[in-house]
Amino acid sequence: MDAIQQQFVEQARTLGIELSERQLEQFEMYYKLLVEWNEKMNLTGITERSAVYEKHFYDSLTIAGVVKFAELNSLADIGSGAGFPSVPIAIAFPHMRITIVDALAKRIKFLNEVTSELGLSTVVSLHGRAEEVARMKEHRDQYDLVTARAVARLAVLNEFCLPFVRTGGMFIAMKGTDLSAELDEAKFSFTKLGAKLVEVKKLTLPTEGADRHLVICIKQQATPNEYPRKAGIPLKTPLV
Ligand code: SAM
């Protein structure tokens, strides 16, 4: 184990995660595939190894600081891009059944390669818009936990993501620094979509020092039939 991996193991431990040798190997394979494929397609602006481990891998795992994965079975990650936060979660919590949804086919192709190379057999990657996939019976009102990182502002994300959550389940939006305007704007969509904002947890990346926020919501009622609206509408005319 080298210094970067040692640091990552310690950071994961602060989240209650004990990584095995096999899991560290999977993270390293993921890193290599990410950098290799990033030369052919735009997956991430962050390629330096220590930065990928902290800003992508550790950051994705911070969700474990606010939910008990041992009590959850299913996760949908909306707009996963190169696989964040879902692939690190799949590596760290192999019992989770994970559905990834992304609108870009080339990113799904990359994710299929990653899940196959890493042997992540509980992950399914779907090419499609959240607004359309959320209308499919097998994905609507189904998931224990839904995540989205760096996809859209909260009022838009609520309409993309809450339809996937089962009643009583959770939606966690992973956000960067300044949130107050977004939170205010999202109040109407929480009410409209039958969800309640429970907590906004502020975190700091351990080495880099940048602030992050986890916006934690509980779905209290099934999503009304009219939501999500047609693909493109939530972004163009957010529920505000
Ligand atoms: N979550 C990743 C991360 O944190 O690195 C990716 C973020 S990337 C900026 C946003 C991703 O959301 C893109 O891969 C894009 O294709 C996807 N996306 C945007 N709108 C979407 C929608 N309506 N349905 C599904 N995916 C969407």
The pLDDT confidence band at residue 51, using thresholds 50, 70 and 90, is very high
C-alpha span between 146 and 129 (Å, rounded) = 15
Stated pTM of the model: 0.97
Instruction: Name the residue among 99, 120, 96, 148 with its Cα closest to residue 27.
Output: 120
Could you tell me the CATH number of the domain that includes residue 115? 3.40.50.150
User: What is the tens place of the pLDDT at every residue in 152-196?
Assistant: 999 999 999 999 999 999 999 999 988 888 999 999 999 999 999
Q: 132: CA distance to ligand 1 center in Å? A: 14
Cα of 97 vs centre of ligand 1, distance in Å, is 20
What are the tokens at 192? 């409209």
The residue whose CA is least distant from atom 3 of ligand 1 is 84
Give a yes or no: residue 193 inside a domain. yes
Q: Which residues sit opposite 212 in a β-bridge?
A: 203
Predicted confidence at residue 167, as pLDDT, reads 98
Q: Please compute the mean of the pLDDT values over residues 88-117 and round it to a whole number.
A: 98
Q: What is the side-by-side order of every strand in the sheet holding 74-78?
A: 123-127, 97-102, 74-78, 143-149, 165-175, 211-219, 195-204
Q: How far is the CA of 83 from the centre of ligand 1 (A)?
A: 10
Contact (CB, 8 A) for 85 and 61: yes
Residues lining ligand 1, Cβ inside 6 A: 78-82, 84, 101-104, 107, 129-131, 149-151, 160
Tell me if 32 is assigned to some domain. Answer: yes
Task: Give burial (CB, 10 Å; 0-12/13-18/19+) of 38.
Answer: middle
- 71 is an annotated ligand-binding site residue: no
**131 Cα nearest atom in ligand 1:** 23
Q: Which of 41, 52, 102, 235 has the most ligand 1 atoms within 8 A of CB, as the residue to mutate? A: 102
Evaluate whether 60 touches 34 at the Cβ level (below 8 Å): no
Q: Please write the tens of the pLDDT for every residue from 53-93.
A: 999 999 999 999 999 999 999 999 999 999 999 999 999 99
Domain count, the chain: 1
Domain assignment present for 227: no
Amino acid 178: pLDDT: 80
Q: In the prediction, which pLDDT does 180 show?
A: 87
Does 209 reside within a domain? Answer: yes
How far, in Å, is the centroid of ligand 1 from the Cα of 3? 31
In a domain, 149, yes or no: yes
Gap from CA of 231 to ligand 1 centroid (Å): 14
Kindly indicate whether the ipTM for this predicted assembly is greater than 0.85, answering yes or no.
yes
Q: Is the predicted pLDDT of residue 127 greater than 90, yes or no?
A: yes
pLDDT band at 26 (very low <50, low <70, confident <90, very high): very high
Atom of ligand 1 minimally distant from the CA of 107:
14
102 domain-assigned? yes
What is the domain extent for residue 171?
3-222
